[in-house]
Amino acid sequence: MRQSALFSATTRDVSSEETAVNAILLTKGGYVRKVSAGVYAYLPLGLRVIRKISDIVRRELDALPNTSEIQMTNLQPRELWQETGRWDDAGMREIMYRVGDEQAYGLGATHEEPVTDLFRQFFHSYRELPIATYQIATKFRGELRAKSGLMRGREFLMKDLYSFHLTPEDLDAYYEQVAAAYLRIYQAMGLKAIRTQASGGVFTTIPSDEFQVVTPVGEDTIYVNEAGDHALNEEIATQEEAAARGYTRTEKATEVGNIFHLETKYTAAMKAEIATADGARVTPVMGCYGLGISRVMGVLVELMGSLEQGAIRWPKSVAPFAVHLIDLTKDKVGEAVYQDLRAAGVDVLYDDRDLTAGAKFGDADLVGASVRVVVSPRSLEAGGAEVVPDWANHPERKEVITLGELATRLA
Ligand code: ATP
Ligand code: MG
């Protein structure tokens, strides 16, 4: 991709309304643009990061048994929500936008009702269970406080997965597989997420599991055990109770995922019944599993971005581009290199703009590509391009590679 062709711009001045580090850096870098509080457009760089995060999630979820991806609608008929009583539920009223003539629809804040509606239309026999489906889609929630950039949106991206099982034991087994997949997902994105016991929400007495990342800006407080691999949310235990159980470290954290046992709340309300082998009818139990795709992007920037340096040090797996080719020559010597890299299948951003070196490097620090390649009069004199193979971790390590060798070395 040519940098001159991106439908976005980097910017020096960010509205003073933006106080979150992620919002400031992502706006400066031209990843996102705020439309109103908690509502952001994703620009080319931002969308690339979102896609890379989504692909990591897909890779893990597609490997789960009987699990396939779908895309549900965000216009959700009121009648569906009336079936479960959530249309008139006070908590739901607060967060769900209602639209259309006589409020015929709610805007998708979560998708238990529509997924259960699909389920009851398709599945009738015990032979067809367990079955699960997920989507990566926009959610709308009337969040009161939307001041944390991508971390708390009114319109945001979530991965939501739903599973249906004949027995609680079968649900438990799947639930643990999802929990393990979540830990691998966060790890692949360079995040240390701690499985955290939390309240189960309004429908169940079974606790839920959150995945929390320790951040200074975290809105949750958790108590972490000695090993640092499990925690309790303060909503289920006092500090004293937690300490007595070995959860001695108190941290601020951000919830990047949350998985729940829903029991038969939705399947019973919506009469999703399954015939058993002996002809009896049972109501399946259900699990639901959320993961905040856009919030993860915000958290990554909070942890790996620096306001002082004006830089985002993305982990390799989610950086918007693998290679950033910066051309500082008058006669665009980098153009041929760009063509070579593209032909070799390299995920490359080519800075072909007529700007000062300072401006280009400033922007490059916000792009945070893993490999930085500079073609300049000086590098050419030294024999080729100056390459920083691991910019995020070792910006000082540089080598000169001849222009002819670059494509094979970086492919
Ligand atoms: P929170 O307590 O932070 O408001 P929640 O418990 O209401 O979140 P869930 O309904 O469990 O959120 O949603 C699943 C996941 O979606 C969360 O773990 C979080 O990562 C993400 N998420 C929830 N609300 C938002 C939001 N307003 N903006 C961005 N991501 C969100
Ligand atoms: Mg939650």
Q: Are strands 193-198 and 230-233 parallel, antiparallel or unpaired?
A: parallel
Instruction: Specify the residue with its C-alpha closest to ligand 1, atom 21.
Output: 292
CA dist 296 and 301 (Å) reads: 9
Instruction: Specify the residue with its C-alpha closest to ligand 1, atom 24.
Output: 152
Nearest to 272 by CA among 137, 80, 88, 108: 80
258 Cβ closer than 6 Å to some ligand 1 atom: yes
Q: b/e per residue, 283-300, with b = 16+ CB within 10 A?
A: bbbbbbbbbbbbbbbbbb
Tokens of 216: 């200074």
CATH class given for the domain over 321-410: alpha beta
Other CB atoms within 10 A of residue 153 CB: 24
CA dist 339 and 407 (Å) reads: 9
The atom of ligand 1 lying closest to the CA of 211 is 18
Tokens of 341: 């890299």
Q: What separation in Å is there between the alpha carbon of 141 and the centre of ligand 2? A: 13
Nearest to 301 by CA among 293, 312, 291, 317: 312
Residue 281's Cβ-count burial label (10 Å; 0-12, 13-18, 19+) is: exposed
Q: What separation in Å is there between the alpha carbon of 207 and the centre of ligand 1? A: 17
Q: Is the dihedral of CA 365, 367, 373, 376 positive or negative?
A: negative
The pLDDT tens digits for 136-162 are 999 999 999 899 999 999 999 999 999
149 Cβ closer than 6 Å to some ligand 1 atom: no
Annotated domain spans of the chain: 8-306, 321-410
130 Cβ closer than 6 Å to some ligand 1 atom: no
139 Cβ closer than 6 Å to some ligand 1 atom: no
CA dist 233 and 225 (Å) reads: 12
Phi-psi map region of 102: left, alpha, beta (phi>0 left; psi -120 to 50 alpha): left
Instruction: Specify the residue with its C-alpha closest to ligand 1, atom 11.
Output: 258
CA dist 382 and 212 (Å) reads: 48
**Residue 202: per-residue pLDDT:** 65
CA dist 96 and 9 (Å) reads: 33
**Residue 108: per-residue pLDDT:** 97
List the beta bridge partners of residue 263.
Answer: 286
**Residue 175: per-residue pLDDT:** 98
Q: Compute CA distances 56 → 2, 51, 210, 259, 265, whole Å.
A: 25, 9, 19, 18, 31
* CATH fold group of domain 8-306: BirA Bifunctional Protein; domain 2 (3.30.930)
Tokens of 339: 């063509």
Nearest to 116 by CA among 140, 167, 81: 81
**Residue 203: per-residue pLDDT:** 63
Q: In this structure, are residues 368 and 384 in contact, taking their beta carbons and an 8 Å threshold?
A: no
The pLDDT tens digits for 222-277 are 999 999 999 999 999 999 999 999 999 999 999 999 999 999 999 999 999 999 99
Q: What separation in Å is there between the alpha carbon of 292 and the centre of ligand 2? A: 9
Q: How far is CA 75 from the centre of its chain?
A: 22
292 Cβ closer than 6 Å to some ligand 1 atom: yes
Residues with pLDDT less than 50, the chain:
none
CA dist 62 and 132 (Å) reads: 10
CA dist 258 and 290 (Å) reads: 5
CA dist 204 and 207 (Å) reads: 8
Q: Are strands 274-275 and 281-282 parallel, antiparallel or unpaired?
A: antiparallel
